[in-house]
Every structure is written in C-alpha cells, then in structure tokens.
Structure 1
Amino acid sequence: MTAIVTPNPTPAESASRFAQAPGDPYRYGVYLRPDPTTCAAVTAVTTQLRAQYGIVSAGAFPPHATLVGSCHITEPVGAIVDAVTRGLAEAAPFTVHNAGVRRQGVGLVYDVHHLADGITPNPAFVDLAARVDKAVAPLRSPAPNPAGHRFDRDTFRAHLSLVSHDMYVRPDLSEEVEEYVGGLPVPFPESFPGDTVTLYRTRSDDWTGRWWQTLTWEHVHTWRLRR
C-alpha cells in the first residue's frame, strides 16, 4: 500500500495563513438593527437550525443587516464611534422592506435589499452603507484574515442572514435546510423602520478557518437616525 504524503506548507505559506496583525483577535462591524419583531423572527429561525442541524454561523451574530463588517481597526473605540457619528449626521431613517427568505450565495437570508416592488434596490439602504464605509475607511488597517467586507455600490446586497458559512462545509444539507426553513411557522413584518445603527466588536480564536465556531461579540454603541 502506497502512503499518501501531504506536503508541508512552506514557511512563507504558514506565515501568510496564520499571520497575526495588531488588534487581533478583534474585528468591528457596523450594522442596521431591525425592529424587535424581525429580530425575534431571525432568532427563531437560527435557533431552530442550531437545534436541528448544528448550524451556527448566522446565529453566532445578533440579528443584523451588515453595513460594513469584519473591519480590522486598531484605533481606540472612541475614534470609531466619533467617525461613524459624523458619517451618520445627515442620514435619515427610511422604510426597510422584507421580501422573505431567499437564497444568497451558499446561504439563506431575509431579502431586505429592495423597495416594496421587490425589484428596485432601496437607495436609502445603499446610501447608508456608503456613508458608513466612507466614515470607517480611514481607520482600517490591513489584516490577513478574514477578507473584509468592502463596500461596493454595485454588489452590495442588504440582507438578514439565516444560514451562511456552515454551508461551505456542509453543502450536502443545502436543499434539506432550505426546505426546513420554508416549513417553519415564523411570521415576520413585511416592513420595518430603518432607524437603528449599531457598532459591535467581534472576536474569534482563529480568523483563518471556521471562525464562526468560536465567535463572540459585544455591543459597543447604538445610533438612532432622526429626521
């Protein structure tokens, strides 16, 4: 029997994959927080998926729509709060429309990207993400893992995650999980006010791999958008 030999990574490969950057193991995310009823719906779905399949990635976070995420920032927290406060100074609340469960990438989401017609991107949502990205951009510093969620107006898709990174390692469950989620009796509002923005600090023991298995988070700050 011939042994299968797996080549060891070179020192350069190991250094790149497991590099540590100043500020590790923390990352920051700025999110739009849904209304309490929608948050409860997200939590109900992710809790059921954890109980039935051990799927944890979406439920590892508080319910949210990402404006900017996985930001590696070594500046003091106060500097982040001040920057986002300035960025939100002219932002007004808007109505978020929830089109229900949709596929996005390998996962499932509540689609909150569009206006009530289900076709037109919600310009206020896109504008809010652009404002926040511009505010935090000068504070970012390079980090090897994970890839940051840089804002791009053409590819931005506002969503509330229900199933996400677990499907990369369990693609065999994809169809079954989608059917399961479709059968859950979890009502949700068709719309809610987009008026609450939150800053969270996340931590993982290993940003290079299955970071969601050790992810923890803490709430840092909340902003309420005013007309």
Structure 2
Amino acid sequence: MTDDIITAATTATTSNERFAQAPGDPYRYGVYLRPDPVTCAAVTAVTAQLRAQYGLVSAGAFPPHATLVGSRHLPGPEEEIVEAVTRAVADVPAFTVHNAGIRRQGVGLVYDVHHLADGTTPNTALVALAARIDTAIAPLETPAPNPAAHPFDADTFRAHLSLLSHDMYVRPDPDLFAEVEEYATALPVPFSDSFPGNTVALYRTRSDDWTGRWWQTLTWEHVRSWRLPR
C-alpha cells in the first residue's frame, strides 16, 4: 500500500513538473462555430452510438462544433482572449452553412460543412471567419513543449463536424473503419441540410497528456458565446 502511494505521488509530481514547462498548461482554447440544435443532436447521437458500439470516444469528447481555431495555447488572462474574439467577430454577419452529410476526412468521418450547396465551392464566409479569429488570437499564443501545433492555413482548412476521429490513429484497421462507416451512415439520425452560422463559442479544454491519447482525459468548459447578426 505504501509503495502504491509513493508511486502515485511520484507520478503526480512528474505530471505537474511536465505541465509546468509552459505557463497555462495543461489548458488549451478552441473557438468553434456551434451548429443548430438539430445538427448538434445528430452529432451527439452518432458519436454516442459509436462509443456504445465500438468504444470510440475522441469525437464525442468535445461538444458538437465546427472548429474555427482549435487547441491553442493561450496562457494569458482569459479576458484578453474574450476581447480578441469579440474584436474578430464584430460586424461579421451570420451566413448559411450547408451540410453535405457524412464524408470521410483523414482517418475519420465527419459531417462535411465546408462547401456551399453545390458541394464543391468552399464557403468563403466560413473560411474568412476562421481567418479573422486566427489573426486576432495569434498575438496571445505562445509555444508549448508538448502539444502538436495547430496553425491556421486557409488553403488546407476544412470545416467539419467530427463523428469519428483520433481513435483511428491507434486502431488503424481498415476493416474496422469500413464497418464503422457502414454503421454510422445507416443510423436513422436526422440532421439539417443547412443551418445559420450565427453562433461562435470559446471553450477551454484540458487533458492530462496532450502528446498522447489526450481524448481519454479530455474535459472542457464553455467560456463565452457570441451571436452574429443577421
């Protein structure tokens, strides 16, 4: 019993020392576009089903969202982050977001919300909003020694709502992916073909290990929302 206590204390000390390498650890911030309630419910239903059936949890570890800027190390006062996002969204009007349904993206599955109704033209209003927010918070960001970088690049940015994501990096079985894709697309879950892009939200996230399977210990808190005018 004594050995277990010593081991636990040593582990906690090591973790604290590692996170002390950068001010603000182990927290990160994300600025998200919140979908309409119907789509949020759809994301929740699909991710809950994938967790219940296959134990896949990374996409469902977050609230339903389309990332504008994600997992940024912003160690300064939270009020400065709020002020920066407030400036970025000032006078930005709401716009329509189109949902093309479940698509493959990277190692996972997403609701594709990057394009206009034609399915091929990028939604420039959505990309421009992400770029504005990135520009606003960039001066507040400092490097952290442990997480991967998440730079914004308008050319590679792809707006999406995650349904299946980082779990598949550690379970890279093509047969499993094919089964999960078939399962997810067959779920009788309704979603909106389009919804107003009018709600931006700031979240604070925390994980015990941003270098590894962070989704297994991820927690988050809603900080602030902004409603874009019509």
1:93 paired to 2:101: no
Partner of 2:178: 175
Contact preservation (8 Å) 2:98, 2:113: yes
**Equivalent in the alignment of 1:205:** 208
Give matches, 1:114-133, under 5 Å: 114-133=115-134
Q: How many residues align?
A: 211
* Larger helix percent: 2
Superposed, 1:33-182 pairs within 5 Å as 33-172=34-173, 173-182=176-185
Residue by residue over 1:125-152, the C-alpha shift from the partner in whole angstroms, topping out at 9 and shown as x without a partner, is 0000001101100000101232232111
Whether the 8 Å CA contact 2:19–2:25 is kept in 1: the answer is no
What is the rounded CA distance, in whole Å, between the counterparts of 1:192 and 1:209 in structure 2?
35
In structure 2, distance between residues paired with 1:159 and 1:145: 25
Distance 1:20 1:207 in 2: 13
- TM (norm. structure 1) is 0.91
Contact 1:18 1:208 (8 Å CA) reproduced? no
CA distance in 1, matches of 2:114, 2:146: 27
The SS at the match of 2:84 is: helix
1:19 deviates by 8.0
Q: How does 1:17-32 map to 2 (within 5 A)?
A: 20-32=21-33
Alignment deviations for residues 134-181 of structure 1 (CA, whole Å, 9 cap, x no partner): 110000010123223211110000000000000001121211111110
Q: Contact 1:19–1:144 (CA<8 Å) still a contact in 2?
A: no
The one of 180, 186, 189 aligned to 1:186: 189
Q: Give the residue type in structure 1 aligned to 2:163.
A: L
Q: Name the aligned partner's letter for residue 70 of structure 1.
A: S
**Cα RMSD, aligned residues only:** 1.2
Q: How far apart, in 2, do the equivalents of 1:24 and 1:39 lie?
A: 29
Gaps of 5+ in 2: 1-17
3-state SS of 2:191 partner: coil
- Alignment partners' CA distance in 2, 1:139 and 1:25: 16
* Partners of 2:216 and 2:21 in 1: CA distance: 19
Equivalent residue, structure 2, for 1:10: none
Asked whether the 8 Å contact 1:69–1:148 carries over to 2, the reply is no
